[in-house]
Amino acid sequence: MPSRPTPSRFTALARPSFLYVMYAMILWAIPLGLLGAVRPAAARAMTEAMTAYFAGLPEPLYALFAAAYLGYTAARQWGKARGTDR
């Protein structure tokens, strides 16, 4: 289903950008898996580095993202149910 045009340029750019980031993260698993098959030590080192990076992010940042994402989706569904959003 194609998206309807939106008057907000930010909204028009933010939605596809978020999907592109998710696609990149999913596609990154392919070369990392191949690297793990060829050089397990290098793949393990990369995985440990990424784990350390994510562990370094403060817990409130995860909570903020989760609250904002859930709030946005709830507001969208509520607007669709009321008929104000399409």
pLDDT tens by residue, 26-70:
898 888 889 999 999 999 999 899 899 888 989 898 899 889 888
Provide the residue ranges of all domains of the chain, joining segments of one domain with +.
9-82
Q: pLDDT band at residue 78, thresholds of 50, 70 and 90?
A: confident
pTM summary value: 0.49
Calpha distance 50→54 (Å, rounded): 6
Output 16 or 6, whichever has higher pLDDT.
Answer: 16
Q: What are phi and psi of 34, to 5 degrees?
A: -65, -40
Residue 30 to residue 37: CA distance in whole angstroms: 11
Predicted local confidence at residue 5, as pLDDT: 63
| Three-state DSSP state, 27 | helix
